[in-house]
């Protein structure tokens, strides 16, 4: 009974070796993306961030107007605060979804053009691969 975990681990290692060797993914077929670079250098990402900042400023001014209003009791103020915060979160999620869809599309297009089989985040790889971040940034903008 005590040998079963070792036997399972050995089987898993053998299966992993078999899968990796049969796929024949070489270092030239691996693309890398640097999300920090893409987020900081992409004009598209900056435009979305500016939209979020504008919405945030608008909602903060609404919160301040609500706080200054003497006609509303505390429960109504708290409810309005929650509604404003929920609106901010909804808008943020909408922009993130929009950016993720554009990013996925750009990655797929660049990977197809460069004949890449695999695209990983730069932080996951210690050695090898081809950095395609600049091509992604150009495709997004």
pLDDT, one tens digit per residue, over 33-54 is 999 999 999 999 999 999 999 9
Rounded Cα gap, residues 59 and 129, in angstroms: 44
Instruction: Note down pLDDT in tens along the chain; length 141 residues.
Output: 455 566 666 667 767 666 666 555 455 688 999 999 999 999 999 999 999 999 988 988 887 877 776 677 778 878 888 888 899 999 999 999 999 999 999 999 999 998 988 888 888 878 888 889 999 999 988
* pTM for this predicted structure: 0.70
Q: What is the pLDDT of residue 65?
A: 77
Question: Residue 29 has what pLDDT?
Answer: 84
Contact (CB, 8 A) for 11 and 110: no
Domains and CATH numbers, the chain: 27-140 (3.30.910.20)
What integer pLDDT is reported at residue 26 of this predicted model?
54
Instruction: Evaluate whether 17 touches 120 at the Cβ level (below 8 Å).
Output: no
């Amino acid at each position: 009974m005590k040998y079963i975990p070792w036997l399972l681990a050995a089987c898993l290692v053998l299966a992993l070796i078999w899968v990796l060797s049969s796929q024949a993914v070489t270092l030239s077929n691996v693309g890398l993306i640097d999300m920090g670079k893409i987020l900081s250098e992409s004009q598209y990402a900056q435009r979305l961030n500016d939209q979020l900042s504008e919405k945030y400023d608008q909602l903060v001014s609404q919160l301040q107007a609500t706080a200054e209003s003497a006609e509303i009791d505390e429960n109504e103020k708290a409810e309005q605060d929650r509604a404003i915060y929920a609106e901010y979160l909804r808008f943020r999620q909408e922009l993130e979804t929009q950016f993720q869809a554009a990013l996925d599309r750009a990655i797929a297009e660049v990977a197809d053009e460069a004949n890449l089989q695999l695209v990983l985040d730069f932080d996951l790889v210690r050695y090898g691969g081809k950095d395609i971040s600049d091509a992604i940034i150009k495709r997004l903008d």
